[in-house]
């Protein structure tokens, strides 16, 4: 290969825009492909057009190296599933995996080899609009969702025609952006990096993620795309990962704006030294890497390594054996929106719904409910249910809440009331009039799709527009009021939590949003989701997360004492991490341990908890296991999730959940920079939410030992006993 041909493999160009795919694939672009100047395209799709593009690469370029075709398939390709934070609320990794299997089936049929997903950034700040794309605030839950999706996209073998390469993103601590402002730097300590932000990436690596994307932002002053300590040392050398590392969009060029490179060739050198293999759309490698190599010939060996890694994934995808295997138009036509894909989309949507409040059994609505006033523009907004990354999702594929409720119930009056954008008060009066003649109000409020996602940070977590006014006017009618809270982030809605009779968090649920919500309102689905991120009481309360450090002066409601609390509101969140109710009730028995002492080196412990459905309906409970290390060489969080299982229980049924943990799951990031299992007590807490602990047990670790990988990245073994 000539040096130009090598560099060409490192170049990813845009074949179109995210909303106008393939639109840039004109004669100039094809000429570049013929000259071997391109390794990959993004924002492209379609079995037929991409077959032609691939043909030019394979048949008309000197070396005939196939191209990689990539796209953001984040929560579905044509069949759009719930947004990722919603899927995380299912606490069901199998559901997240299933979604990825289907997304891979559809996108591979459309000629794609590679998705920029899963997005596994942890976020404790819902002001950050991209919280919608990840699994929320917790490293353990985030790790399970990360590995499940990687396995779903990549299947057993990357070379199968219906699997695609995962592009786990955005490596580093993108979710720790200061003030929740997108692209802002993160100032976090090494322990937070290792224990909170990196574990989902590690779990993805263990699951075999073939590629990663770097974060836009800087950590401790070093932009991630030039951060050799993070990328080359931790990801590659310490983790032993050898896949393709891609920059985010123009991130190599942005090294100039970050102020760490004075020229484009310097930016190219920094990124290559950090082991970034592919430059997304900036053309810095394309135009300036050669000059960088001329200035520093040692870079040529790094270029060779990057080329080899890119060629290796092309080989693993089977492209050298058959470059056209992803271009079968008959398969493309057959798989899109297949009935079983739609069915999975509804099931996963139902599993993602969280019942936040249910006063006096308001939900499910009684069979003989008379007129339902359905209020809220979001109830009739199909676009919003497609979320922030809609790939090839189509508005006409979406069944809205309004359409589904009108189909399911004979007497529905609909009024938009107010939406999340306009300031027009006109609709509120009409909505109140509609509500007055009804037996129950179902009010869909929250944020439309464009309030969350990339560059969609907010300074306020309150309901946008005049929706609070609408809520208050409806509450004043005295009619039973069910709130369906939509959107891509936790919102600060204390008045809704206080005054509504029932509240369902339904996020943005994809094409089957309407049927999933209606089935839940009417009792066909008993909600079992749990919050993957805390709901704050106010914007000023963020960041608020359950696994905070203890304080020397724990919060005390008595304001005459100087403690770690606000003067004007409780320190607890509005709804805690892990919170979610059901139409039935569950009882927990006592926790029993396999032993009261385990060795630090190679030990393991089993904790068993019986859970009973004490109500009259079948339902799902997410049994959550938390740990605390009460005395250690560094202060440890008040609790940390270390296991969970979503269990279905029939009325009266008891099942035992058996968690088996290895000693390295209790390790901490020590002051000398390694995983360390320390001697002493470990407290376990089992319950139905981080603020609803129902059983406890403690044991002792004897001796000390080195840990293996980040504890949150290690999956706890779980068995369920007591029948289906």
3-state SS, residue 425: coil
Interaction of residue 390 with ligand NOJ, rule CB under 6 A? no
The verdict on whether omega for the bond into residue 170 sits within 30 degrees of 0, i.e. cis, is: yes
Shortest distance, CB of residue 168 to ligand NOJ, whole angstroms?
11
- For residue 182, how many other CB atoms are within 10 A of its CB? 17
Shortest distance, CB of residue 18 to ligand NOJ, whole angstroms?
6
Residues 6+ apart with CB under 8 A from 142: 88, 120, 122, 134, 135, 136, 199, 200, 203, 712
Interaction of residue 449 with ligand NOJ, rule CB under 6 A? no
The verdict on whether omega for the bond into residue 72 sits within 30 degrees of 0, i.e. cis, is: no
Mask 59-98, x = binds ligand NOJ (CB under 6 A)?
Answer: -------------x--------------------------
- Residue 287 annotated as catalytic: no
Shortest distance, CB of residue 214 to ligand NOJ, whole angstroms?
10
CA–CA dist 316, 332 (Å, integer): 22
Query: Considering beta carbons, is residue 132 or 399 the nearer one to ligand NOJ?
Result: 132
CA–CA dist 689, 622 (Å, integer): 8
Shortest distance, CB of residue 454 to ligand NOJ, whole angstroms?
6
Shortest distance, CB of residue 497 to ligand NOJ, whole angstroms?
32
CA–CA dist 31, 707 (Å, integer): 53
DSSP category for residue 549: P
Query: Considering beta carbons, is residue 388 or 688 the nearer one to ligand NOJ?
Result: 388
Exposure on the CB side of residue 465, measured as CA atoms within 13 A? 24
Query: Considering beta carbons, is residue 224 or 582 the nearer one to ligand NOJ?
Result: 224
Query: Considering beta carbons, is residue 245 or 373 the nearer one to ligand NOJ?
Result: 245
Angle at 53 between CA 47 and CA 58, to 5 degrees: 115
3-state SS, residue 541: helix
CA–CA dist 658, 609 (Å, integer): 7
Mask 220-259, x = binds ligand NOJ (CB under 6 A)?
Answer: ----------------------------xx----------
Distance linking the first and last C-alpha atoms of the chain: 59
Interaction of residue 169 with ligand NOJ, rule CB under 6 A? yes
CB-CB contact of 709 with 715 (8 Å): no
Pairing of strands 279-280, 11-14: parallel
CA–CA dist 379, 420 (Å, integer): 12
Query: Considering beta carbons, is residue 72 or 332 the nearer one to ligand NOJ?
Result: 72
Shortest distance, CB of residue 72 to ligand NOJ, whole angstroms?
5
Query: Considering beta carbons, is residue 116 or 546 the nearer one to ligand NOJ?
Result: 116
CB-CB contact of 502 with 482 (8 Å): yes
Structure tokens at 192: 């937070």
Mask 97-126, x = binds ligand NOJ (CB under 6 A)?
Answer: -------------------x----------
Binding to ligand NOJ (CB under 6 A) within 36-55 occurs at: 42
Query: Considering beta carbons, is residue 186 or 697 the nearer one to ligand NOJ?
Result: 186
10 Å CB burial of residue 276 (0-12, 13-18, 19+) is buried
CB-CB contact of 606 with 594 (8 Å): yes
Mask 173-212, x = binds ligand NOJ (CB under 6 A)?
Answer: ----------------------------------------
Mask 469-498, x = binds ligand NOJ (CB under 6 A)?
Answer: ------------------------------
Mask 3-22, x = binds ligand NOJ (CB under 6 A)?
Answer: ---------------x----
List 92, 125, 138, 248, catalytic entry: 248
Interaction of residue 454 with ligand NOJ, rule CB under 6 A? yes
Query: Considering beta carbons, is residue 116 or 285 the nearer one to ligand NOJ?
Result: 116
CA–CA dist 84, 67 (Å, integer): 29
Scanning the structure block, which residue is given the tokens 């074949």?
15
Shortest distance, CB of residue 42 to ligand NOJ, whole angstroms?
6
Residues 6+ apart with CB under 8 A from 611: 586, 587, 588, 589, 621, 623, 647, 649, 654, 655, 656, 657
Interaction of residue 138 with ligand NOJ, rule CB under 6 A? no
Size of the site for ligand NOJ (CB under 6 A): 8
Shortest distance, CB of residue 489 to ligand NOJ, whole angstroms?
17
Query: Considering beta carbons, is residue 72 or 620 the nearer one to ligand NOJ?
Result: 72
Active site (catalytic) residues: 248
Instruction: Please report, as ranges, the residues that interact with ligand NOJ according to CB under 6 A.
Output: 18, 42, 72, 116, 169, 248-249, 454
């Amino acid at each position: 290969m000539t040096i130009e041909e090598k560099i060409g493999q490192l170049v990813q160009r845009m074949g179109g825009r995210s909303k106008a795919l393939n639109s840039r694939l004109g004669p100039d672009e094809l000429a570049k492909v013929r000259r071997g100047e391109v390794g990959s395209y993004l924002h492209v799709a379609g079995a037929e057009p991409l077959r032609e593009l691939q043909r030019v690469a394979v048949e008309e370029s000197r070396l005939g190296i196939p191209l990689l075709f990539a796209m953001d398939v984040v929560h579905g390709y044509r069949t759009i599933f719930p947004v990722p934070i919603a899927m995380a609320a299912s606490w069901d990794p199998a559901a997240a995996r299933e979604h990825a299997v289907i997304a891979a089936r559809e996108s591979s049929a459309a000629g794609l080899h590679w998705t920029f997903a899963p997005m596994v950034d942890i976020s404790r700040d819902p002001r950050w609009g991209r919280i919608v794309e990840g699994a929320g605030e917790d490293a353990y839950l985030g790790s399970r969702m990360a590995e499940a999706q990687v396995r779903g996209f990549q299947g057993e073998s990357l070379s199968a025609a219906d699997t695609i390469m995962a592009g786990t993103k955005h490596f580093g601590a993108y979710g720790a952006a200061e003030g929740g402002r997108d692209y802002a730097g993160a100032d976090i300590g090494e322990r937070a990096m290792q224990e909170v932000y990196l574990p989902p990436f590690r779990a993805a690596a263990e699951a075999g993620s073939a590629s990663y994307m770097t974060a836009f932002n800087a950590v401790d002053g070093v932009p991630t795309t030039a951060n050799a300590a993070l990328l080359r040392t931790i990801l590659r050398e310490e983790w032993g990962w050898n896949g393709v590392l891609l920059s985010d969009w123009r991130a190599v060029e942005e090294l100039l704006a970050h102020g760490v490179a004075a020229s484009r060739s310097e930016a190219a050198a920094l990124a290559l030294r950090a082991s970034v293999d592919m430059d997304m759309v900036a053309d810095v490698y394309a135009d300036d890497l050669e000059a960088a190599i001329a200035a520093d010939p040692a870079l040529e060996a790094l270029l060779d390594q990057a080329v080899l890694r890119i060629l290796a994934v092309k080989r693993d995808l089977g492209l050298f054996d058959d470059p056209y295997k992803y271009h079968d138009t008959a398969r493309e036509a057959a798989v899109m929106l297949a009935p079983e894909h739609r069915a999975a989309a509804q099931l996963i949507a139902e599993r993602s719904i969280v019942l936040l409040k249910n006063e006096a059994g308001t939900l499910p609505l009684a069979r003989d409910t008379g007129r339902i006033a359905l209020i809220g523009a979001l109830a009739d907004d199909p676009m919003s249910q497609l979320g922030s990354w809609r790939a090839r999702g189509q508005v006409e594929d979406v069944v809205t809440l309004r359409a589904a409720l009108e189909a399911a119930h004979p007497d529905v009056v609909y009024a938009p009331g107010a939406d999340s954008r306009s300031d027009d008060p006109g609709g509120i009066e009409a909505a109140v009039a509609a509500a007055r003649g009804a037996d129950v109000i179902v009010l869909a409020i929250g944020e439309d799709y464009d309030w969350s996602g990339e560059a969609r940070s907010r300074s306020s977590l309150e309901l946008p527009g005049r929706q609070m006014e609408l809520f208050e006017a409806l509450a004043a009618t005295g009619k039973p009021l069910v709130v369906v809270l939509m959107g891509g982030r936790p919102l600060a809605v204390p008045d809704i939590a206080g005054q509504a009779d029932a509240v369902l968090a339904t996020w943005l649920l994809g094409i089957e949003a309407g049927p999933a919500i209606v089935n839940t309102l009417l009792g066909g689905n008993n909600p079992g989701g749990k919050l993957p991120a805390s709901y704050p009481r106010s914007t000023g309360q963020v960041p608020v997360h359950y696994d905070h450090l203890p304080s020397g002066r724990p919060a005390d409601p008595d304001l005459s004492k100087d403690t770690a609390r606000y003067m004007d509101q409780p320190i607890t969140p509005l709804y805690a991490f892990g919170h979610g109710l059901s139409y039935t009730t569950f009882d927990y028995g006592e926790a029993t341990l396999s032993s009261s002492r385990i060795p630090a080196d190679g030990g393991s412990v089993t904790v068993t908890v019986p859970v009973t459905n004490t109500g009259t309906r079948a339902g799902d409970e997410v049994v959550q296991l938390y740990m605390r290390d009460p005395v250690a060489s560094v202060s440890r969080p008040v609790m940390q999730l270390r296991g969970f299982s979503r269990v279905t229980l029939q009325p009266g049924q008891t099942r035992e959940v058996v968690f088996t943990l290895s000693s390295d799951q209790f390790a901490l990031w020590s002051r000398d920079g390694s995983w360390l299992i320390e001697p002493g007590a470990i407290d376990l807490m089992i319950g139905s939410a981080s603020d609803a602990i129902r059983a406890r047990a403690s044991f002792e670790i004897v001796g000390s030992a080195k840990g293996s990988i980040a504890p949150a990245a290690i999956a706890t073994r779980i068995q369920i006993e007591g029948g289906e």
